[in-house]
Structure 1
Amino acid sequence: MSYAPFKQLTDAAVRPELSRLALGLGVVVALTFGLGQAIMAVARLLLGPDRFDALLGAMQRGDTAIGVYALLLGAGAMGLAVLLAARLVHGRAARSLLGPLPLALRQFARVVVALAALQAVIFLAPPWSMAMDMLPAMAPGRWVALLPLTLLALGVQTGSEELLFRGYLQSQLGARIAAPAVWLVVPSGLFALGHWAPGIYGENAVFVVFWAFLFGLAAADLTARSGTLGPALALHLLNNLSAVAIAAPQGPMTGLALYVLPLDVADAGAVRAALPVDLGVLGLSWLAARLALRV
């Protein structure tokens, strides 16, 4: 295992004191909340009370395209907060969170191609029986027409999370602490805790957090091996594209899905049965990304 390329990100992480990192995370939280409230206030002003309340309902249900778009694009407040915190607290430019941009773009493209091929194989020859019972959701023509906006919204959401957990937190920890166990596990643990939602997943919430932790480890490992945020962005984008826009489980995020899986996210037995498959797909995706990058 070689994490030498990670120096491209850690060398850019100036002012790496842990006290500054704690301050930076506090700034991220405060700015994310403030920007989110400002966006909501502007939306209410522009839409009026009735249409604004309807939008909030659509966001809570996630069963319409507009509701899911609002949720995904709203995550951009966190991404902007990360960029501002990195500049204000550490004096870091936005590009320093990505790594060398030409290399990041090339790595992103290579991993996207590899994972798209893998997901096509999985979709055409699925290893689980529920795939035969997928229910049509959005009309194919409308789905294709909305795909550019869907990719943009997913890019904003996944990009914001990757900027925070891998681009900012992991690189700042790596600049201060040499032990990979710290800068791999801590960001992944916080990323996983961000997926804790017992109100949605019920007793399955712990399994969702466990999966998210392993996903975070895979993304953190790819970031360290490649020295840029490109591979982690590709992994995250393709994962969410599959789970949100191609075949979504029954639950509060079906508004952009082409198909809906016969899997209720609150059904403990069904989720436990599907977890090994999900973990297997994650492992194959991580391996495919490594093979594409030759790292």
Structure 2
Amino acid sequence: MPDPNAYAAHEGLVGDARARPELWRLAAGLGIVLVLYVTLNAVLFAFIGQLLQPDQAQGLLHGTSTSAALILLLSFGFLTLGVAIAARQMQHRSLAAILGPRRLLLQQFWMVLRALVILGLIMAALPPYGMGETLTQNLALSTWLLLLPVSVIAVLIQTSAEEVLFRGYIQQCLAARFRSPAIWMGVPSVLFAAGHYAPGVTGENALLVAIWACIFGLLAADLTARSGTLGPAIALHFLNNAVALLFISLPETLSGLALYLLPYDMSETGTLRQWLFVDFAVMTVSWLTARLALRR
């Protein structure tokens, strides 16, 4: 476990949460988040479903069309709304307090994002080239470019929402109650991993994907605790998902905005599993790069 002094900046996020650190408040707050998120999504999808044919409605659930992917990603805004309401009602905290100082958040977000983009360009220029399989064109380049501004915003909303919940609300509430980083970093990361455990979609890769998500959660938690804002974690999460959702995507879920598709799905145990192990290494290098960027 890192030196607790390295996480001194985290106190700026946790300080006002210490006034109401009871675990029942966190549990009730998560209940509010869940109810609001499920209810608002149900209303949204019921309304949109009335406007679509049955086959189109099925595609909406998987995000395999452009409109469906945008709707699914933008619907994560309900998650941020739920956290904002829960924090206000249960801990008397604002969403701004969870995010961290606005100016510092933006500064750190851009610092880390810029460093990670440079890292990505360097890695793309190095061999091996491609992913060993022929990619399928999903969107015409002109269409993809036209959609790119709103696609980027949609991915940013989705990734920010997850960071606000896991590295923001849950992590800060636990840190207000427990001193050990093993708890306030570990518990949200395990919950984040549980949310990514989907044997019905990922098949035999389900546990590996969940482990990947848990490690990602720990690294994002570390960046948040070192920086004192959610900016670096959002930047790391955003770039990771932007590559996977907007550039080269898997075909079965949230592929509607991608320029290219891979010729296999998440349950494939051959080539995909090999790339998952590569992704572990890329994730670690990206985390180290983000830490270096924050030291400037």
TM-score range, shorter chain: over 0.9
Q: Tell me which of 15, 23, 34 is aligned to 1:11.
A: 15
Q: Tell me which of 20, 25, 30 is aligned to 2:25.
A: 20
Q: What is the root-mean-square deviation in Å for CA atoms of aligned residues? A: 1.8
Q: Following TM superposition, by how much is the alpha carbon of 1:210 offset from its aligned partner in structure 2, in angstroms?
A: 0.8
The CA distance in 2 between the partners of 1:124 and 1:66, in whole Å, is 32
The CA distance in 2 between the partners of 1:41 and 1:249, in whole Å, is 26
The answer to whether the Cα contact below 8 Å between 1:131 and 1:261 also exists between their aligned partners in 2 is no
The answer to whether the Cα contact below 8 Å between 1:43 and 1:52 also exists between their aligned partners in 2 is no
Point out where structure 1 has 5 or more consecutive residues left out of the alignment: none
Counterpart residue number, 1:92: 93
2:255 alignment partner, SS class = coil
What percentage of aligned pairs have identical amino acids?
45
Q: Following TM superposition, by how much is the alpha carbon of 1:52 offset from its aligned partner in structure 2, in angstroms?
A: 6.2
Counterpart residue number, 1:37: 42
The CA distance in 2 between the partners of 1:34 and 1:160, in whole Å, is 17
- Give the alignment's TM-score, normalised by structure 1: 0.93
The answer to whether the Cα contact below 8 Å between 1:86 and 1:94 also exists between their aligned partners in 2 is yes
Deviates more, 1:273-282 or 1:132-141: 132-141
Equivalent position amino acid for 1:95 in 2? A
Task: Provide closer, same or farther for how the CA distance between residues 269 and 50 of structure 1 changes in structure 2, counting only shifts above 3 A.
Answer: same
Q: Following TM superposition, by how much is the alpha carbon of 1:86 offset from its aligned partner in structure 2, in angstroms?
A: 0.5
Deviates more, 1:235-244 or 1:271-280: 271-280
2:179 alignment partner, SS class = coil
1:51 alignment partner, SS class = coil
The CA distance in 2 between the partners of 1:60 and 1:93, in whole Å, is 32
The answer to whether the Cα contact below 8 Å between 2:113 and 2:239 also exists between their aligned partners in 1 is yes
Q: In the TM superposition, what are the counterparts of 1:99-114 in structure 2 within 5 Å?
A: 99-114=100-115
Count, aligned residues: 291
The CA distance in 2 between the partners of 1:137 and 1:124, in whole Å, is 23
The CA distance in 2 between the partners of 1:112 and 1:124, in whole Å, is 18
The CA distance in 2 between the partners of 1:40 and 1:254, in whole Å, is 18
What do residues 111-152 of structure 1 show as CA deviations (whole Å, max 9, x unaligned)? 110111111222232546525633332111111111111011
Counterpart residue number, 1:251: 252
Q: In the TM superposition, what are the counterparts of 1:222-233 in structure 2 within 5 Å?
A: 222-233=223-234
The CA distance in 2 between the partners of 1:128 and 1:192, in whole Å, is 30
The CA distance in 2 between the partners of 1:169 and 1:133, in whole Å, is 41
The CA distance in 2 between the partners of 1:255 and 1:153, in whole Å, is 12
The CA distance in 1 between the partners of 2:53 and 2:295, in whole Å, is 49
- Give the alignment's TM-score, normalised by structure 2: 0.93
Deviates more, 1:162-171 or 1:18-27: 18-27
What do residues 209-231 of structure 1 show as CA deviations (whole Å, max 9, x unaligned)? 11111111111010001010000
Equivalent position amino acid for 2:295 in 1? R
Counterpart residue number, 1:271: 272
Equivalent position amino acid for 1:140 in 2? L
Equivalent position amino acid for 1:102 in 2? R
Q: In the TM superposition, what are the counterparts of 1:183-198 in structure 2 within 5 Å?
A: 183-198=184-199
The answer to whether the Cα contact below 8 Å between 2:64 and 2:251 also exists between their aligned partners in 1 is no
The answer to whether the Cα contact below 8 Å between 1:78 and 1:160 also exists between their aligned partners in 2 is yes
Equivalent position amino acid for 1:152 in 2? I
Task: Provide closer, same or farther for how the CA distance between residues 128 and 205 of structure 1 changes in structure 2, counting only shifts above 3 A.
Answer: farther
The CA distance in 1 between the partners of 2:196 and 2:129, in whole Å, is 25
The CA distance in 2 between the partners of 1:221 and 1:56, in whole Å, is 40
